[in-house]
Structure formats: C-alpha cells, structure tokens
Amino acid sequence: MYDSPHRRFNPLTREWILVSPHRAKRPWQGQVEKTAPPYLPEYDPTCYLCPGNERAGGINNPQYSGTFVFDNDFAALLPDVEGSTLKVEREPDIKPSNIQPSMLFRAEPESGVCKVICFSPRHDLSLPQLSLDEAEGVINTWTNETAALFKRPEIAYVQVFENKGAVMGCSNPHPHSQIWSQSQIPTEPAKELASQKDYFAANGRPLLLDYLAEEQKRGERILASNEHFTALVPFWAVWPFETIVIAHRAAPSLPALTQPERRALAEIFQSVTIRYDNLFEISFPYSMGFHQAPNDGLEHPEWVLHAHFYPPLLRSATVRKFMVGYEMLGMPQRDITPETAAARLRELPEIHYSKAR
C-alpha cells in the first residue's frame, strides 16, 4: 500500500496527511548545487547575542560562559495584560459546535513572557557542534526556565523552541532558542492534549508510549535510541526529514525529568542534529520545539514529553519543500515516504562532517 498514493493519520493532532510516493521519481529541474557554508567567527562584534555586546534598548550582554537567558526585547507577549483570564477558568477552546453568533468577532486579552536563550558564548557553534556537557547545559537551562515559569499562576503553557537557519526566519546565526509562555494553551498543544487525554481514557495507557512500543517493534522509522529517549521519523511526518524525540516514560514536562534523563535527551538531540548536518553537509535548518503538559495544577498521566523537529529541506542545501497551494488549501502532502527519509538519515555517520574531514 505504501508504494501508491495514500493518506496517513496523525493520532496526536487527529489530522490526515497525503503521501504520494510515486511522485518522488518525477523529473526535477531545480538547482542541486552544494553551497559553501558561510564563514562564522567565534565572536562577532556586530552580533546582539555575543558576550559583552549591546542589544536593542542599549542593554549590554554579560561576559557569559555557558548558556545565557534574557527577556526578549521585542516580546510577542507581555506580562499582566489587563483582563486576561486566570488559568483556573481556562478550558482548551476547540469546540466548533459551540460557536454562537456572538462569537463571530471574538477577541481576548492574552498575557505571557518571552525569553531568548543563547546556547553558548561561541557565535559559530550550533547544538550538534557543542560538547555533550554543553548540550546538557542547554537542556538544563530550558528545564530551569520552564520550572520558573510553571511557578507563575498566570502561565498556562510554556513553549520552548528553536528556529535555526535564515530559511526558518532565524534572524541571527548565533545559536539560540526561545521560550514563549502564555495564559492560554496554544493551538497545537491543545490538540495534542485532547487526543492524549481521550486515548488515555479509552485505553488506560499514554498514546505516545503505545506508539513508541510499536515503532520499536517495527524498527523501520527509528533513527537513534538510548536508555531514556528515542528519535524517529513519525509515521505521519509532513516535512521530508521531520523527526520526533519521545521520552520512554510518561514524564509530562522538562522539569519532570531526572538528571540522567536530561543527559540522555542531550545525547539524542546531538545524534539527530549531527545526522541532519551530515545529510547535505551544511548547518541544517529547522524549527524544533518541545510539547509538554500544560501548567494547570493537574496531573497529566496521559502526557509524554516529546520534541518535534520540522526541517524544510528536501533534496539539497537549497531545494526545500514548500507548504503551498494544496497544503494551504487542502491538506499537508509529501512525496518521499517517512520510511525512505528514516533510512537515509540512519545510514549517515554519527560524527559531525566538520570533524570527520
């Protein structure tokens, strides 16, 4: 069946994607050239993230040596917006049958906190090029920032994410990530919350642990695995080389992880991102982010911490997949199958190409 056009179900979002494997063989007239990576200095005097340099608003960064966190100077969300609802009254709001005429022009205030997290003082070293200790430091910083935001009653959800590469809208090559946290649960985690809750209620087990057990049996989409985490190309992947990193137990959030689990997570992140860079021998662009349980004071036995990597590149350093016409108006569609993508990533060396030379 997987050789002819078919659709696949994403149980996390309860949406479908279209797979057209036969089209992967169609002629392609685009460019496939290799691009020379841009030279990056260890320190860039014009970079607003490098140690000691000035940011917008005239603030100077400290001479930091590990990770460095600051409040986003152009934050999309602001704390204590008047009238934003208290967390306890909040229900994920995705019940289309409840729409009344009075809701046709509905708007609500929204509070939140936005942070920027630099991975290291080095302007030129991305996650796959850091040492394992440094990568673990990044995981620890994401964890500590999440834990601090979870203590704030007005914060319902903490989104940790990284935009990497100009093609993903990243404004600065200095390796960094962001946290946006807010007083309502955003759309994607709200879908995942509803699906994981319903699955747990019906089957008594977390959806992602059942899924992971089945993937481990099948093996064909697995990329890397250690004691505490597994990386794989999900059965329902949309982006050509999309991956998901799944915890081996129902830990609902980063702060719920033990220190050995955080180290294991750093190790899996490095093995995914090293393979990504090795695929086209470039710094591989993507948007990555964790999905963790909401901060609503409830237990979340259904939620399994995971991270999604959404990389846009398709067949070379310059040829990307576009989510355009049919995807915008119909549904997501892909040509090469998730199994083919997993096989390509799996066969790549686990040493970063810049070190292997």
First to last CA, the chain: 41
Active site residue 308: no
d(CA 355, CA 357): 6
Q: Which helix (H) or strand (E) holds 215?
A: helix 207-218
**Residue 99 token pair:** 């729409």
- CB-based burial label for 353 (10 Å; 0-12, 13-18, 19+): middle
Q: Quick check: 159 binds ligand H2U (CB under 6 A)? A: no
Q: Measured from the CB atom, is 283 or 333 closer to ligand H2U? A: 283
By CB under 6 A, is residue 169 in contact with ligand H2U? yes
Within 10 Å of residue 194's Cβ, how many Cβ atoms?
17
Query: How crowded is residue 188: how many other Cβ atoms within 10 Å of its Cβ?
Result: 14
CB 279 within 8 A of CB 306: no
Instruction: Determine if 56 is a binding residue for ligand H2U (CB under 6 A).
Output: yes
- Contact stretch for Zn ion (CB under 5 A) within 118-126, 147-155, 284-292, 314-322: 118-126
Binds 174, which of ligand H2U, Zn ion, none (CB < 5 to 8 A, cut-off by type)?
Zn ion
48 binds ligand H2U (CB under 6 A): yes
Partner from ligand H2U, Zn ion, none contacting 44, C-beta within 5 to 8 A by type: Zn ion
Closest CB to Zn ion: residue number: 47
What does DSSP assign to residue 322?
-
Among 50, 244, 247, 336, binds Zn ion (CB under 5 A): 50
Binding partner selected for residue 45 from ligand H2U, Zn ion, none, CB under the kind-specific 5 to 8 Å limit: none
Nearer to Zn ion, 172 or 340 (CB): 172
Q: Residues 135 to 194: which contact Zn ion by CB under 5 A?
A: 174
Rounded to whole angstroms, the Cα distance separating 354 from 160 reads 28
Is 170 a binder of ligand H2U (CB under 6 A)? yes
61 near ligand H2U, judged by CB under 6 A: no
**How many other C-beta atoms lie within 10 A of the C-beta of residue 16?**
13
Q: Rounded to an integer, what is the distance from CA 100 to the centroid of its chain?
A: 35
47 binds Zn ion (CB under 5 A): yes
CB of 48 to Zn ion, least distance (A): 8
**Number of alpha carbons in the 13 Å side-chain half-sphere of residue 287:** 11
Instruction: Verify binding: residue 288, ligand H2U, rule CB under 6 A.
Output: no
The answer to whether 114 touches 57, Cβ cutoff 8 Å, is no
Scan residues 174-233 and list those touching ligand H2U (CB under 6 A): 176, 178
Segment near ligand H2U (CB under 6 A); pick from 129-137, 169-177, 239-247, 312-320 = 169-177
Q: How is residue 191 written in tokens? A: 């879908």
Q: Does 124 bind Zn ion (CB under 5 A)?
A: no
CB contact at 8 A, 280 and 298 = no
Smallest gap, in angstroms, from Cβ of residue 64 to Zn ion? 11
Name the active-site residue from 123, 176, 248, 308.
Answer: 176
Nearer to ligand H2U, 178 or 271 (CB): 178
Using CA atoms, how far apart are residues 16 and 327, in angstroms rounded to an integer? 11
CA 271, chain centre distance (Å): 15
Residues 68-107 that bind ligand H2U (CB under 6 A): 72-74
Q: Which does 47 bind (CB under 5 to 8 A by kind): ligand H2U, Zn ion, none?
A: Zn ion
Can you spell out the DSSP letters for 22-56? GGGGS---S--PPPPPPP--SS-TT-SSSTT-B-G
> Least Å distance between CB 161 and ligand H2U?
8
CB 77 to ligand H2U: min, Å:
11
* Residues binding Zn ion (CB under 5 A): 44, 47, 49-50, 123, 174
* Residues binding ligand H2U (CB under 6 A): 48, 55-56, 72-74, 116, 163, 169-172, 176, 178
Active-site residues: which are they? Answer: 176
